[in-house]
Amino acid sequence: MKRKVTLKQIARELDVSISTVSKALRNSPEISDDTIQKVQAFAKLYNYRPNNIALSLKNRKTNTIGILIPEIVHHFFSKVIRGVELVANKRGYNVIIGLSNESFAKEVINMEMLANGSIDGFILSISKETQQLQDYHHFNETMSQGMPIVMFDRVVPDIKCDKVIVDDFNGAKHAVEKLIENKCKSIALITTKDYVSVGKLRTQGYLDALEESKITPQAELILKIDDNLDYEVHLEKLEAEIEQLFKSNKKIDGVFAVNELYAVSAMKVARKLGLNIPNDIQVIGFTDGVLSKHATPSLTTVSQHAQQMGEKAADLLIDKLESENEDEDESYHTVVIPTELIERKSTK
Amino acid sequence: MKRKVTLKQIARELDVSISTVSKALRNSPEISDDTIQKVQAFAKLYNYRPNNIALSLKNRKTNTIGILIPEIVHHFFSKVIRGVELVANKRGYNVIIGLSNESFAKEVINMEMLANGSIDGFILSISKETQQLQDYHHFNETMSQGMPIVMFDRVVPDIKCDKVIVDDFNGAKHAVEKLIENKCKSIALITTKDYVSVGKLRTQGYLDALEESKITPQAELILKIDDNLDYEVHLEKLEAEIEQLFKSNKKIDGVFAVNELYAVSAMKVARKLGLNIPNDIQVIGFTDGVLSKHATPSLTTVSQHAQQMGEKAADLLIDKLESENEDEDESYHTVVIPTELIERKSTK
DNA sequence: TGGCCTAACGCAAACGTTTTCGTGTTTATA
DNA sequence: TATAAACACGAAAACGTTTGCGTTAGGCCA
């Protein structure tokens, strides 16, 4: 089991100094052609590759960016990662991933681990627990140490950093407007508790769309799900709540749900109650994941362009990283990614 | 914008040497209590954290493990990552992710990038293109440089390394046996081209189950999909092929598909053709992802316990990393994760 | 008072690079 | 022939740690 070959070993074998080897490999004019040939041949033979860790230490730059997300088993986050990876690799950066599992403590620990030299900057979406606690000291500390942060999707408005967000408000609003256009008279909303920032914004979009059409929102048509439950497990509970909603409001003919799962569950319950989609009830969801595409009927949904978000976030971060030396650009951008209503079979 | 505080800075401020600071922080008996107090107080005040990069360089150990997978927007791989992350963090390791996007070239490049000091070992699943080309030099080179590799799911049998695999053969076999038990007489198989190792194994399981029940496999009941197509885009093509299968074999009363998507698509096509599931046709898929759970009807499927695979892979790798010093344990393990048939509404 | 022990600390090397600044040798020029 | 310039290379510092060992000073004992 050989170790990786280093400059020092090459130098010893060829009886030259380390610096000569280093220069020869980079084709320095200081070094004679003879030596360059010799060194490069030897390096190729032994498959020499510079040690990234040593380079990072010397350059005080890791060329690695850290992604910190609440959960990876989610189409949305996976796609964001994909976008980040795409442009990061294109621009010569690696990607390292931390998972908070929606926990504040894990978010803090993960940040500290990565912040101590492992990465040059963060791309993150904050955990639900952090949103509840509203404790953002770790973000501020990290940034005060000169490490840039780009937040996406679930952001904290007060924190000064670059942000990439979905136009949750208008995405929701347009979806509900679509339902209204399609003659829905009694439109239910299935959303999360208010502390989830995106849920709140989508709820506001729903309300705004109703108001603009002079429809008075009715509290009993709004179902707020406790999103702390792991719905992989508590699927029945979710469905029971939706069933209750439908049963006590028989006139519901449209549903807007703030995520895929709620929408698909609503369709399932509706079908169980003997309702036809889209004839009796039309349904629109949020997030264009696999569920929407392959549900029966396929689900009309608000697409967030997750991959594009990831790409944009990575570009913002790398721009900041690479500008830092030249000009101390202390301005922060918030990029809003427009949503798109993808019409499928769950609406008329 | 402050930089991160280093030992050197603390030393300068407190007018002691760097080594004294280092020792004081680690409570060395060499250092007087007074100095220890002073240094630790100062370090706490300025939130000192040792620089991981410097530690990695010094210790020749990064405490980071690299995951290299073909695709992240997949429930299966996401869950594996989750498992790896879980035990890695528990055992003091970070996780860094590389995506090959099913491309051989990207797999090689990503490996080289990570292998040069960034990580201590690999957990990977090989790309489809690599499986086709059967070019495994990068794995062998990496291992010959003393970097351990654990392969999971899509493995290369010839390569000497730890492996974590799904019992694809028996998983498929049991699924088909279930269909036979349920009185299916004409069972179709929807699978991939043979170069995909797992597809091949599942196909063999299908054939074996048939033979054991004295049923002669019929070539026209086996549909081999070209898995190179991105089925996010080529969904219609997939469905058209399945429709063709059903139309030319009207007696089909059971379907075993080697993944979720094929199974769900089969159900969709069947329904379109006016067939009832599970009364006219029973369907079983592979991989317990979101699609299976939320399909209508919910899909009976072979669960691979992806998260458990990730956990096991991480344990194997870290065990190897941490044993390496003591005894040169050159034995390799192959862990087979048993599958589980999760019965839902698509079978009787 | 001389010698020794111990407490408390600093020096320097090492990890693997890159790069600046010498230094020695050869060649060309006056 | 003496001197300058060109050439080819090496030494050393730096990035931030840890650690074995050397060093200093004081105290103690005989």
Mean pLDDT, 10 residues at a time, chain B of 348 residues? 86 95 95 95 95 96 95 91 95 91 93 92 96 95 93 94 96 97 96 85 96 94 82 79 95 95 94 94 94 91 96 97 66 95 95
Whether residue A116 and residue B49 make contact (CB cut-off 8 A), yes or no, is: yes
Amino acid found at B191? T
**Whether B206 contacts B177, CB under 8 Å:** no
**Whether A278 contacts A348, CB under 8 Å:** yes
Q: What is the pLDDT of residue B1?
A: 59
Mapped onto helix, strand or coil, the DSSP state of residue A139 is helix
Q: What is the distance in angstroms measured between the alpha-carbon CA of A118 and the sugar C1' of D16? A: 13
Angle between helices B7-14 and B33-45 (to 10 degrees): 120
Q: Which residues of B touch A117 (CB under 8 A)?
A: 4, 51-54
Whether residue A117 and residue B47 make contact (CB cut-off 8 A), yes or no, is: no
Say if B62 is an interface residue toward chain A (CB within 8 Å): yes
Structure tokens at A290: 């696999």
CA gap A120, A117 in Å, rounded: 7
Quick check: bond before A278 cis, omega within 30?
yes
Please list, in sequence order, all residues whose beta carbon lies within 8 angstroms of the beta carbon of residue A293, skipping any fewer than 6 positions away: A299, A344, B232, B235
**Interface size, chain A vs chain B, as Cβ–Cβ contacts under 8 Å:** 150
Question: Which of the residues A91, A118, A123 would you substitute to probe the B interface, choosing the one with the greatest number of B C-beta atoms within 10 Å?
Answer: A118
Question: Which of the residues B96, B102, B112 would you substitute to probe the A interface, choosing the one with the greatest number of A C-beta atoms within 10 Å?
Answer: B96
Q: What is the pLDDT of residue A329?
A: 59
Q: What is the pLDDT of residue A116?
A: 92
Mapped onto helix, strand or coil, the DSSP state of residue A166 is strand
Please list, in sequence order, all residues whose beta carbon lies within 8 angstroms of the beta carbon of residue B314, skipping any fewer than 6 positions away: B65, B83, B84, B86, B87, B88, B91, B93, B123
Please list, in sequence order, all residues whose beta carbon lies within 8 angstroms of the beta carbon of residue A96, skipping any fewer than 6 positions away: A64, A65, A66, A67, A114, A118, A119, B64, B94, B95, B96, B97
CA gap B167, B173 in Å, rounded: 10
CA gap A297, A294 in Å, rounded: 8
Whether residue A78 and residue B78 make contact (CB cut-off 8 A), yes or no, is: yes
Q: Which residues of B touch A291 (CB under 8 A)?
A: 290-291, 294
Q: Cα B173 to chain center, whole Å? A: 22
Q: Which residues of B touch A140 (CB under 8 A)?
A: none
Measured in degrees and rounded to the nearest 5, phi and psi for residue B22 equal -60, -45
Q: Which nucleotide is nearest to A9 (CA to C1')?
A: C16
CA distances from B15 to A306, B32, B36, B38 (A): 52, 15, 13, 11
Question: Which of the residues A48, A62, A96 would you substitute to probe the B interface, choosing the one with the greatest number of B C-beta atoms within 10 Å?
Answer: A96
Classify residue B339 by its DSSP letter. P
End-to-end distance of chain A based on CA atoms, in angstroms? 66
In this prediction, residues A112-116 reach a mean pLDDT of 92
Give, as ranges, the nucleotides of chain D with any atom within 7 Å of a protein CB: 7-12, 14-21
Pairing of strands A340-342, A300-303: antiparallel
What is the tens place of the pLDDT at every residue in A257-311? 999 999 999 999 999 999 999 999 999 999 988 899 988 899 999 999 999 999 9
pLDDT at A59 over 70: yes
CA gap A300, A287 in Å, rounded: 10
pLDDT at A1 over 70: no
Q: What is the distance in angstroms measured between the alpha-carbon CA of A5 and the sugar C1' of C17? A: 13
CA gap B184, B210 in Å, rounded: 11
Q: What is the pLDDT of residue A328?
A: 54
Mapped onto helix, strand or coil, the DSSP state of residue B187 is strand
Say if B118 is an interface residue toward chain A (CB within 8 Å): yes
Q: Which of B49, B291, B295 sits opposite A112 (nearest CB)?
A: B49
Number of Cβ atoms within 10 Å of the Cβ of B231: 16
Chain A residues 301-340 with a CB less than 8 Å from chain B:
328
**Whether B309 contacts B153, CB under 8 Å:** yes
Q: Which residue has the tokens 């079979």?
A: A345
The proportion of chain A whose per-residue pLDDT surpasses 90, expressed as a percent, equals 83
Say if A2 is an interface residue toward chain B (CB within 8 Å): yes
**Whether A166 contacts A153, CB under 8 Å:** yes
Say if B116 is an interface residue toward chain A (CB within 8 Å): yes
Task: Pick the residue from chain A with its C-alpha nearest to B89.
Answer: A110
Q: Which nucleotide is nearest to B56 (CA to C1')?
A: C15
In whole angstroms, how large is the CA radius of gyration of chain A? 26
Say if A57 is an interface residue toward chain B (CB within 8 Å): yes
Q: Which residues of B touch A85 (CB under 8 A)?
A: 72, 97, 99
Measured in degrees and rounded to the nearest 5, phi and psi for residue B94 equal -95, 165
Q: Strand A282-286's sheet: what is its strand order? A: A222-225, A187-192, A254-257, A282-286, A300-303, A340-342
Whether residue B85 and residue A94 make contact (CB cut-off 8 A), yes or no, is: no
Structure tokens at B74: 């997949």
Measured in degrees and rounded to the nearest 5, phi and psi for residue B250 equal -65, -15
Mapped onto helix, strand or coil, the DSSP state of residue B276 is coil
What is the tens place of the pLDDT at every residue in A163-218? 999 999 999 999 999 999 999 999 999 999 877 788 899 999 999 999 999 999 99
Quick check: bond before A157 cis, omega within 30?
no
Angle between helices A33-45 and A18-25 (to 10 degrees): 90
Q: What is the distance in angstroms measured between the alpha-carbon CA of A41 and the sugar C1' of D3? A: 39
**Whether B40 contacts B24, CB under 8 Å:** yes
Q: Reduced to 3 DSSP states, what percent helix, strand and coil does chain B have, rounded to the nearest 5?
A: 45, 15, 40
Task: Pick the residue from chain A with its C-alpha nearest to B4.
Answer: A145
Please list, in sequence order, all residues whose beta carbon lies within 8 angstroms of the beta carbon of residue B194, skipping any fewer than 6 positions away: B200, B203, B224
CA gap A19, A317 in Å, rounded: 34
Say if B146 is an interface residue toward chain A (CB within 8 Å): yes
Number of Cβ atoms within 10 Å of the Cβ of B147: 19
Amino acid found at A326? E
CA gap A345, A283 in Å, rounded: 9
Q: What is the distance in angstroms measured between the alpha-carbon CA of B15 and the sugar C1' of C4? A: 30
Q: What is the distance in angstroms measured between the alpha-carbon CA of B56 and the sugar C1' of D26? A: 40
Say if B2 is an interface residue toward chain A (CB within 8 Å): yes
B55 touches strand C (CB under 7 A): no
Q: A228-252: buried (b, 16+ CB within 10 Å) or exposed (e) per residue?
A: eeebeeebeebbebbbebbeeeeeb
Structure tokens at B105: 């070239």
State chain A's mean pLDDT as an integer.
Answer: 92
Q: Which of A57, A73, A81 sits opposite B82 (nearest CB)?
A: A73
pTM: predicted TM-score of the whole model, two decimal places: 0.89
Give, as ranges, the nucleotides of chain C with any atom within 7 Å of a protein CB: 7-12, 14-22
Q: How many angstroms separate the CA of residue A321 from the nearest CA in chain B? A: 14
In this prediction, residues A24-30 reach a mean pLDDT of 94
Which helix (DSSP H) or strand (DSSP E) does residue B336 occupy?
strand B334-337
Structure tokens at A16: 């030259």
Whether residue A264 and residue B294 make contact (CB cut-off 8 A), yes or no, is: yes
CA gap A80, A67 in Å, rounded: 10
Whether residue B294 and residue A268 make contact (CB cut-off 8 A), yes or no, is: yes
Length of chain A: 348
CA gap B335, A57 in Å, rounded: 38
What is the tens place of the pLDDT at every residue in A327-340? 555 789 999 999 99
B58 touches strand C (CB under 7 A): yes
Length of chain B: 348
Classify A102 in phi/psi space as left (phi over 0), alpha (psi -120 to 50) or beta. Answer: left
- With distances taken from each CA to the C1' atom of nucleotide C12, the closest residue turns out to be B19
Say if B112 is an interface residue toward chain A (CB within 8 Å): yes
CA gap A296, A307 in Å, rounded: 25
Say if B79 is an interface residue toward chain A (CB within 8 Å): yes
The CA-based diameter of chain A, rounded to the nearest angstrom, is 88
